[in-house]
Amino acid sequence: MSANVETILAETRKRMKSSIETLKKEMATVRTGRANAGILDTLHVDYYGSMMPINQIAGVSVPEASMLVIAPFDKKAIKAIETAILKSELGLNPANDGNVIRLPIPPLNEERRRDLSRVVSRMGEEIKTAVRNVRRDANEDVKKLEKDKHAPLSEDAAKKALEQVQKITDETIKEIEEIVKHKEAEIMHV
C-alpha cells in the first residue's frame, strides 16, 4: 500500500480519535445524579479581572456521592467562585463557610433526566457528524491519489483504502454510540 494512503489512514484515525476525546470531555460536563468534578470544567471565574478556569484557582474534591467541595487556593476568590456557580446553568446552590464552598448535588427528577438524555444524544449526533466529515475528507484524499498524474493509485488499491476508511469510521461511530449509551444509562439511573 502507498505511503500516501497510510498517511491518509493515520490522519483519519487521529482526527476521529480527537472527536471521541472531545465527546468524552463534553460528557463529563453533563450533570448526573452523582457528584462529578467534571461538571465544573467549563466554569470560568472572574479572578482579579481575568477569566480563569475554576480548577486553576481552587481544588475540587468529591467527599461523597452527592457533594462537591471547592477549596480556593486564595480565600479572597471564594465570593467570585460562588458568583460564577450561581450565574452558571448548573442549577446548583453553593454553600460558603468562609473557607470552602460546599456544592450539594440534588437528585435529578424524571423530566430533567429525560432532558439531559436528549442533550447527551444530541452531543453524540454532533460528534458523529464530525466523524462523517473526517471520512468524507479522507475519501476525497484517496480519490485525489487515484487521479494523481505522477503516481496514480490503482483502482483496487483505492477501493481497498476507501474500505479501510469506512471500517475506521464504523468503529468510531460504534464507540461514540457506546459512550452515549453509557452516559444515558448513568443519567437515568436513580
Going from the C-alpha of 4 to that of each of 74, 150, 158, 185, the distances in angstroms are 53, 13, 11, 42
Per-residue pLDDT in tens (0 to 9) along the chain, 190 residues: 555 889 999 999 999 999 999 999 888 877 676 777 888 888 899 888 889 999 899 999 888 888 899 999 988 889 999 999 888 877 788 998 988 999 888 877 888 888 888 989 999 999 999 999 999 999 999 999 888 877 778 889 889 999 999 999 999 999 999 999 999 988 887 6
Domains of the chain are 3-28+109-188 (1.10.132.20), 37-104 (3.30.1360.40)
Q: Are 162 and 58 in contact (CB under 8 A)?
A: no
As to burial, measured by CB atoms within 10 angstroms (0-12 exposed, 13-18 middle, 19+ buried), residue 32 is: buried
Q: What confidence score (pLDDT) does residue 133 get?
A: 96
For the entire predicted model, the pTM comes to 0.71
What cell was used for 99?
473557607
Contact 71, 58 (CB under 8 A): yes
